[in-house]
Structure 1
Amino acid sequence: MVRRTGKKTRVAAARRPEVRLPPLRPHEGGGLEPDGDYDGVELAGLDLSGGDGAGALFLDCALRDCVLERTSLVRARFVDSVLSGVRGVGTDLAGAALRDSEIVDARLGGVQLHGAALERVLVRGGKIDCLNLRDARLTDVVFEGVVLSEPDFGAARLERVEFRECVLRRADFAGARMRDVDLRRVSELDVAGGVEGLSGAVISTAQLMDLAPVFAAQLGVRVED
């Protein structure tokens, strides 16, 4: 919802997570277990490639420098947790729930987060290619200093979402529904499709000029000198 104060237009700011991890104990198991219960543990430097943690609960946990190549975390839940330096291709987080959590300096590709729910989540630094957020719900989410290449926000619902000093390349917003989404601090905004899905977002004047050809194409307007 856009609120007005005097002559200025304001966008409701996203509420950032405040993750305060307790003293963690090392994870003693080998890999992940379906429907596993991970409470107050640190998984550090592990190769979890091909692992199956579908339906697992991570509460007050840290995943640091782990390899998540083709790792299944379908419908997993991350609460008050940090994923730092994780990397891999094909990580499956479809239908997962992340709340009051941080993703820091991730290097991921082909991440499946369709149908996921993100609430009070900070995604900071790193690079994520082909991020699939179709039909996802993002509430109070901040993307900060991260490079997102070909992210798919198709039919996603975004409320109080901020993009700060980010790069968005070939982004698709087809069918997205936005409320209080702030794109003004995106350093590179490249929309490949679904420009109509930006309704409800706020962009800068400079971004409007950059996106003018995309808007014109959407409206069927030809621009000729």
Structure 2
Amino acid sequence: MQKPVTPHGPNEQFTVQLAQHGLFLRGRGGKRLESRLANLSGLKLAGFDLSKSTLLACNLSQADLQRCRFVEADLSNSLFIGSDLKHCDFTRANLRGARFYKSDLQQAKLDGSDLRVGSFTLHRQGKNGDEVVSREYITDLSYCNMEEASLQDAVLRKARLRGVNLRNADLGSADLSDSDLTGVILLGARMQGANFLNANIAEAVFTVDDQARRIFHGLPAFQEHLKMLAEVDRIVARHEAWVESRGKEGQRADFVGKALRGVDLRGRELSAISFRGADLTGAKLAHAKLAASDFHAATLAYTDLSGADLRGASFENATLRHTVLEAADLGDLELARGGRLPARFGGATLEWVALTNVQVPPGRLDGATLRDCALPPLVG
């Protein structure tokens, strides 16, 4: 059996406990793994079966636990901060009070798991004899990557999920009542039967469709989001009139520093608009006319710019993360008074952006930082 590895080398005692737990799971004797307040940070244990184990208030931060099985395990009040938990199976696990801050739970399975508020009781000796210290911990999944994760029937009442990526996740019949979903990404998420009663969805990114209207209709943040979308539509309509009349009618739009998360402006006339410093996370801008637009220092995470006219646009110092640029036009814009205006990416950061089907002139990405990007053959 592969030995678990910590930053200090193999942990022989824990290796023996794992072997005993494996025998227990196979019905061949052994002993169920039980641990409390253990420091297992940095543990490398990918692929192990820890189902039905008990790891109470243990520190599993910065651990490599991808593909591990924690089915029906008791992991209450444990720490998984910054851990790799891709493809893990937490089906029906007790995760009350656990903290997964900034962990990777991509395609993890948490069906039927319990992520409610957890309590922890500690008995210690004080000046006046034995003391009992009891404390509650809110389950924290903030800023985790939970793309394509399954949380069917999971109980997340009062849980903290700020900034979580739940794109294409399955939240069927999950209980998210009273939870903090500020800034969560719900694009493509399946939410049939989910309970969002009194949840905070401020700055959340989602598609406004019949499902969203049915599930979020009673939430104040949803009504504010609809008002924002209506105001953006009015501003864009005036801008389109300004472009069509060459400045004689309407008014040029200015979205400098605005929060435009999840706006749907597909196919709209947005040429020469300023989005400097704007947050366009999850915005739909496919096939929009964005020639000479300014995205300086803007946030374009999960933004759809497929087929958009981006000639002469500025992306200087912008952040493009999982941005869709397929079939976009990043060529030069010919100016009416002569000369050409190129699209600019100086100082921009591109992460997980596919550029293989984008016409990118040689040298156009000079000065940009590219991480995990699929590059076109013309990039110099």
CA drift of 1:44 comes to: 1.2
1:192/1:48 CA distance change after superposition, 3 Å: same
Which ranges in structure 2 are unaligned for 5 or more consecutive residues?
1-11, 26-31, 118-137, 237-380
Distance 2:65 2:171 in 1: 22
TM-score (norm 1): 0.74
Structure with the largest fraction of strand: 1
User: Hey, what does 1:145 align to over in structure 2?
Assistant: 158
1:88/1:57 CA distance change after superposition, 3 Å: closer
CA drift of 1:210 comes to: 3.3
CA drift of 1:197 comes to: 7.7
1:88/1:159 CA distance change after superposition, 3 Å: closer
Counterpart contact for 2:148–2:169, Cα < 8 Å: yes
The alignment status of 1:131 with 2:105, answered yes or no, reads: no
Match of 2:224 among 207, 210, 214: 210
* Residue identity matched to 1:119: D
User: Hey, what does 1:73 align to over in structure 2?
Assistant: 65
**SS at 1:121's partner residue?**
coil
Match of 2:14 among 30, 50, 53: 30
- C-alpha distance after superposition, 1:26-85 (max 9, x if no partner): xx9336979x83753212111111111211112222211111221111011112211111
* Residue identity matched to 2:204: A
* Residue identity matched to 2:89: A
Match of 1:53 among 32, 39, 45: 45
Match of 2:55 among 50, 63, 66: 63
The alignment status of 1:169 with 2:182, answered yes or no, reads: yes
User: Hey, what does 2:106 align to over in structure 1?
Assistant: 114
* Residue identity matched to 2:84: D
- C-alpha distance after superposition, 1:119-156 (max 9, x if no partner): 11111122232121101122111101211111110111
Distance 2:83 2:201 in 1: 25
Distance 1:175 1:87 in 2: 29
**SS at 2:187's partner residue?**
coil
Distance 1:60 1:91 in 2: 20
Give me the identity figure in percent.
Answer: 22
Counterpart contact for 2:168–2:187, Cα < 8 Å: yes
**Does 1 or 2 have the higher relative contact order (CA < 8 Å, sep 6+)?**
1
* Residue identity matched to 2:205: G
The alignment status of 1:199 with 2:211, answered yes or no, reads: yes
Counterpart contact for 1:33–1:54, Cα < 8 Å: no
Distance 1:97 1:197 in 2: 31
- C-alpha distance after superposition, 1:67-107 (max 9, x if no partner): 12211110111122111111242111101111111211123
Deviating 4+ runs (over 4 angstroms): 31-34
Aligned length: 193
Larger Rg: 2
The alignment status of 1:43 with 2:55, answered yes or no, reads: no
User: Hey, what does 1:100 align to over in structure 2?
Assistant: 92
User: Hey, what does 1:83 align to over in structure 2?
Assistant: 75
1:216/1:137 CA distance change after superposition, 3 Å: farther
**SS at 2:188's partner residue?**
coil
* Residue identity matched to 1:210: E
TM-score (norm 2): 0.46
**SS at 2:226's partner residue?**
helix
